[in-house]
A = this chain, B = another copy of it.
């Protein structure tokens, strides 16, 4: 027997199950491995011996595999477990590789973000140290698009499509009243503004919103923000603002509740960035102010996934299996853009140590000078990533996803 195992980790995205489906079909089609196991709740499933036999589950069930591609969040569950350094706890590594030996596992695929790539680095280092034949390979995902060494990350395109579509729908919702208003929409991305920037794609021949876009890459100046809004209100009725949850002032302090009066009384948990700005504008403007948080919907709205995104995610999963079979290890699969027009990317593998614990923020050239908008270069970069729609199956009026009954834990 020669088996492999796959796990998912970090925050959910719409595309992470597509990569899982890619690994499953990669294994089945290549005949390089007998069984592909799925560790439940990331690496912790290996430590607790909680896993599924994915070959058994998916063999001959192509419809089920296709449904997996469309299912939001993680079929195998996630974890936020950080593997200790080898020097701190050698035992945990021994337990993991003991499990690999027992199950005759020769490849481990970890689908995740930054932290998950740290796990890949550590496991690969251990494998090297003990001369284990187990290949350790990372497959990227994150809606934040903040991984280095890849043009973009699976999961980002779908989140970007949700964000852009929702801004367009919010614009329609906003334009109906002939009263002055400011609508602040808070988008995820604590350190990198990629997803907030994607709101720009909502603009079209009749919709100029979002009118202001603030990313965490630039220090946020409340007075400049107020001036920007006032200037726009002097010319138009409705101002729609895209703001990253992670914006900070020039001293690096988050512009969240901590910056609003409420915090003085210790209730900062009541309020996010959008709410804080709503409160700030309410103090200075006599127009209708509303804030909207896109919240987890931006990372789980599979019914409006980007086809490009899901296809790439699946492709990376398939390619990971090939890489392992070829003997590669200590790598992360990555996407290199050959051209934006026509959009062409190639799958590559990159040293995972150059990804783990690093972060790719939005470059200066993609942000306008005043720091309240993005450039044409950003639009060019983003556009291909949201293209295409998946055929969504509906039953009884709801999108049909794959059952995650095994995750619905009863104590």
Chain A interface (Cβ within 8 Å of chain B)?
A: 12, 41, 44, 71-74, 77-80, 161, 164-166, 168-170, 172-173, 175-178, 201-202, 204-208, 234-238, 257, 260-262, 264-265, 267, 269-271, 275, 278-279, 282, 290, 292-293, 295-297, 299-304, 306, 383, 386-389, 392, 394, 396-399, 401, 403-405, 407-411
Contact = CB atoms under 8 A, between A and B. Distances in A.
Given A173-B12, A383-B396, A389-B394, A270 B271 contact: yes
Given A168-B398, A267-B267, A300-B169, A407 B175 contact: yes
A299 B173 contact: yes
Contact of A306 (B73, B290, B388, B397): B397
29 contacts: A12-B173, A41-B176, A44-B178, A71-B172, A72-B173, A73-B172, A74-B176, A169-B301, A170-B296, A170-B300, A172-B401, A173-B296, A178-B409, A201-B396, A201-B398, A202-B398, A204-B398, A205-B403, A205-B405, A206-B408, A234-B411, A267-B267, A269-B278, A292-B293, A292-B295, A293-B295, A303-B303, A383-B397, A388-B397
A173 B388 CA distance: 23
A234 B409 CA distance: 12
Contacts of A176: 12, 41, 73-74, 77-78, 407
A78 B396 contact: no
Nearest to A263: B267
A404 B80 CA distance: 45
Contacts of A396: 201, 383, 386-387
The 10 closest A-B pairs by CB, nearest first: A386-B397, A206-B405, A206-B403, A173-B300, A73-B172, A78-B176, A169-B300, A175-B407, A262-B267, A237-B409
Contacts of A237: 409, 411
A275 B265 CA distance: 16
A236 B73 CA distance: 19
A296 B292 contact: yes
Nearest to A168: B398
A313 to B, nearest CB: 16
- Pick the most buried of A72, A176, A178, A202: most chain B CB atoms within 10 A of its CB: A176
B208 A303 contact: no
B271 A279 contact: no
B161 A397 contact: yes
Contacts of A399: 165, 168-169
B178 A79 contact: yes
Contact of A172 (B295, B404, B410): B404
B260 A262 contact: no
A270 B265 contact: no
Contact of A275 (B202, B270, B405): B270
A397 B201 contact: yes
A63 to B, nearest CB: 16
Contacts of A73: 172-173, 175-176
Given A175-B404, A260-B267, A303-B303, 11 more contacts: A74-B176, A165-B303, A166-B297, A169-B297, A169-B300, A176-B407, A237-B409, A261-B267, A269-B282, A297-B297, A386-B398
Nearest to A48: B178
A82 to B, nearest CB: 15
Contacts of A206: 403-405, 408
A236 B282 CA distance: 42
A134 to B, nearest CB: 25
Contacts of A257: 270
Contacts of A44: 178
B398 A165 contact: yes
Nearest to A308: B397
A173 B188 CA distance: 15
Contact of A401 (B168, B238, B271, B398): B168
Given A73-B173, A236-B409, A300-B169, A267 B279 contact: yes
